[in-house]
């Protein structure tokens, strides 16, 4: 009997085990054998009809597809440069001089003058100097770089030279100079340059269009999609722009390429020169003034000796009583300034109409350069700044004719004056006791 019961129990246990195995889930497939997922069931209780294949819907007008990139060569390198200037075509009024490079002598153009004449925007702290030959780039402190020169001819030119340039660290075949929002490129040693390559090299800002500007002021607008077809190249002794849409013509003496519509910021005075001290060392000459003869200093000679910026097209002459006159620089530069007589300072010369001469001139603005005259015994520097619209800065450098420079914080400008001390015109500033800044030559923002 016991054996029968044990046999029955064993049969029941085997049956239960078989049921359990049949109800267990199938094992998951291995990653290499994953089954294709089945579609989720429709939430509708009734089966959905099989949809017929249809093309993908077109985007709605409110969601247009992104436009194709027309200038992929430099769009991925969208930089900050708004304006690029051709060095060789921007040298008007800038003269080269003999400069050392190691034991060699080269003819170099002063970089500070070039920058002051041509660049519109504030400079970066450092300049990037890049060779067009191998792409090597060297960064240098801007303040140090501006004291040097750029030679366009000679071994390894274009090359930076000057008394402070170490020959062993000079970049050969300089092709590009990055100053921040602006860049400069050279064509010496090159016959042609693709504008697309130029944009990539300097980090030009991507825009819808660009303005090509010539030395005579003519401006030609080029759409971004046409930039790959543009070239800067030598042509009949010039360096011109070759662009589509103008047939066989070229953009003669192209000097700059800039984001279309870019405008020069308002020009503010950045240096004020005391005329009487700036004229020291200049020869005076007798000049006509109506039917009279008077002695004066050449405006052209004074500007060449003292100005650091390119003069604006017009000069503004202000008398001590506030009377103001404006004249084209091209005419004014041919005249002379007389410092003697009850109506002096006054402009004289063969081309000066005596009846229209401004008497007792207080100051003249030439753009970023300005000059002031000693009217009376004392001139307030704060009032001079306000009258001329001096650029704001944290501090200002007061420079004397012997090269000595004294820095004054902006907060102390109200305590500064220009005054006669005997026969000398000096700077009177706080912090130096009873001393004065002898023969104060100019005032400019520090840095």
Nearest residue to 269 via CA among 147, 401, 445, 447: 445
Give the domain-ending residue among 192, 225, 259. Answer: 259
Confidence of residue 78 (pLDDT cuts 50, 70, 90): low
Q: Which residue has the higher pLDDT, 247 or 8?
A: 247
Domain endpoint, select from 259, 279, 302: 259
**Is residue 195's pLDDT more than 80?**
yes
**Does 350 lie in the same domain as 244?**
no
Per residue in 133-158, pLDDT tens?
A: 999 999 999 999 999 999 999 989 99
Comparing 77-86, 183-192, 276-285, which segment has the lowest mean pLDDT? 77-86
**pLDDT for 16:** 44
Domain that includes residue 400, residue range: 271-445
The share of the chain scoring above pLDDT 70, in percent, equals: 83
pLDDT band at 79; cut points 50, 70, 90: confident
- Per the model's pLDDT, the better-predicted residue between 69 and 276 turns out to be 276
Verify that 374 and 346 share a domain, yes or no. Answer: yes
Determine the pLDDT at residue 125: 92
Domain boundary among 210, 228, 259: 259
Question: At residue 384, does pLDDT exceed 50?
Answer: yes
Judged against a pLDDT cut of 50, whether residue 75 lies above it is answered with: no
**Within this chain, do residues 217 and 354 fall inside the same structural domain, yes or no?**
no
| Nearest CA among 183, 203, 201 for reference residue 193 | 201
Q: How many domains does the chain have?
A: 2
The answer to whether residues 248 and 298 belong to one domain is: no
Indicate if 125 and 105 belong to the same structural domain. yes
Residue 181 is given by DSSP the state S
Q: Is the pLDDT of residue 70 over 90?
A: no
Distance (Å, whole) CA 31 – CA 50:
31
240 within 8 A of 254, measured Cβ to Cβ: yes
- Whether 115 is in a domain gets the answer yes
* Same-domain status, 254 and 153: yes
Name the residue with higher pLDDT: 336 or 267: 336
| Average pLDDT over every residue of 53-71 | 34
For 301-334, what is each residue's pLDDT tens digit? Answer: 999 999 989 899 999 999 999 999 999 999 999 9
Dihedrals phi, psi of 113, to nearest 5 degrees: -65, -45
Residues 154 and 230 both lie in one domain: yes
Q: Tell me the per-residue pLDDT of 121-136, one tens digit each, with 9 for 90 and over.
A: 989 999 999 999 999 9
- The reply to whether 141 falls in a domain is yes
Measured between alpha carbons, how far is 80 from 76 in angstroms, rounded to an integer?
Answer: 13
Same domain flag for 252 and 298:
no
Please check the confidence at residue 11 and state whether its pLDDT lies above 60: no
**Which two structure tokens, joined as six digits, stand for 320?**
């001590």
SS3 category, 369: strand
For residue 13, tell me if it sits in a domain: no
Whether 437 is covered by a domain: the verdict is yes
Band (pLDDT 50/70/90 cuts) for residue 8 is very low
CB distance 348 to 359 below 8 Å: no
Tell me: do 341 and 254 sit in the same domain.
no
Q: Is the confidence at residue 76, as pLDDT, over 80?
A: no
pLDDT higher than threshold 60 for residue 89? yes
Tokens of 291: 């039917």
Choose the weakest-confidence range: 61-70, 263-272, 311-320, 432-441. Answer: 61-70
What is the C-alpha to C-alpha distance for residues 377 and 170, in angstroms, rounded to an integer? 50
**Domain contains 322:** yes
**Do both 249 and 337 map to the same domain?**
no
**Measured between alpha carbons, how far is residue 72 from residues 97, 193, 243 in Å?**
42, 18, 19
Closest CA to 222 of 204, 245, 240: 245
The torsion region of residue 16 among left (phi > 0), alpha (psi -120 to 50) and beta comes to alpha
Mean pLDDT calculated for residue range 6-10: 43
User: What does 151-167 look like in DSSP terms, one character per residue?
Assistant: E-SSTT-SEEESTT--G
Which strands sit side by side in the sheet containing 231-235, from one edge to the other?
192-194, 231-235, 238-242
Q: What is the C-alpha separation between 356 and 360, in angstroms, rounded? A: 13
Q: The tokens of 408 are what?
A: 């004054």
Q: Express each pLDDT in 13-51 by its tens digit.
A: 444 444 344 443 333 333 333 333 333 333 333 333 333
Q: Are residues 82 and 208 in the same domain?
A: yes
Is 26 a domain residue?
A: no
Tell whether 215 and 93 lie within a shared domain.
Answer: yes
Residue 439 inside a domain? The answer is yes
The verdict on residue 331 lying in a domain is yes
* Helix, strand, or coil (residue 374): coil
Tell me the three state secondary structure of residue 9: helix
């Amino acid at each position: 009997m016991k054996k029968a019961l044990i046999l029955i129990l064993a049969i029941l246990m085997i049956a239960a085990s078989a049921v359990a195995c049949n109800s267990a889930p199938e094992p998951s497939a291995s990653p290499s054998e994953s089954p294709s997922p089945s579609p989720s069931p429709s939430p509708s209780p009734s089966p959905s009809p099989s949809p017929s294949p249809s093309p993908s819907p077109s985007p709605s007008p409110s969601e247009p597809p992104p436009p194709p990139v027309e200038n992929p060569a430099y769009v991925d390198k969208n930089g900050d440069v708004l304006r690029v200037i051709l060095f060789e075509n921007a040298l008007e009024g800038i003269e080269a001089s003999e400069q050392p490079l190691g034991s060699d002598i080269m003819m170099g153009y002063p970089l500070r003058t070039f920058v002051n004449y041509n660049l519109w925007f504030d400079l970066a702290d450092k300049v990037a100097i890049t060779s067009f030959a191998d792409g090597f780039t060297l960064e240098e402190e801007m303040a140090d770089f501006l004291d040097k020169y750029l030679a366009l001819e000679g071994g390894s030119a274009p090359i930076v030279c000057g008394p402070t340039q170490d020959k062993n660290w000079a970049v050969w075949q300089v092709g590009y100079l990055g100053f921040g929002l602006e860049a400069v490129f050279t064509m010496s040693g090159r016959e042609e340059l693709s504008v697309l390559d130029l944009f990539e090299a300097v980090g030009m800002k991507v825009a819808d269009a660009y303005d090509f500007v010539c030395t005579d002021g003519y401006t030609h607008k080029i759409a971004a999609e046409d930039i790959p077809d543009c070239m800067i190249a030598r042509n009949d002794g010039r360096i011109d722009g070759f662009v589509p849409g103008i047939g066989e013509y070229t953009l003669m003496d192209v000097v700059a390429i800039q984001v279309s519509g870019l405008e020069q910021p308002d020009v503010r005075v950045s240096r004020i020169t005391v005329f009487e001290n700036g004229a020291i060392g200049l020869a005076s000459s007798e000049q006509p003034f109506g039917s009279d003869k008077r002695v004066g200093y050449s405006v052209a000679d004074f500007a060449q000796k003292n100005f650091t910026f390119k003069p604006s097209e017009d000069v503004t002459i202000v008398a001590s009583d506030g009377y103001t006159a404006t004249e084209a620089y091209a005419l004014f530069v041919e005249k002379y300034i007389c410092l003697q007589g009850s109506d002096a300072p006054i402009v004289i010369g063969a081309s000066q109409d005596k009846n229209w001469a401004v008497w007792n001139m207080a100051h003249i603005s030439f753009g970023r350069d300005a000059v002031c005259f000693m009217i009376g015994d004392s001139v307030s520097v704060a009032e001079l700044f306000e009258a001329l619209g001096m650029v704001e800065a944290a501090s200002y450098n007061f420079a004397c004719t012997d090269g000595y420079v004294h820095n004054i914080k902006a907060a102390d400008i109200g305590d500064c004056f220009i005054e006669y001390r005997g026969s000398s015109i000096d700077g009177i500033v706080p912090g130096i006791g009873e001393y004065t800044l002898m023969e104060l030559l100019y005032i400019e923002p520090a840095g």
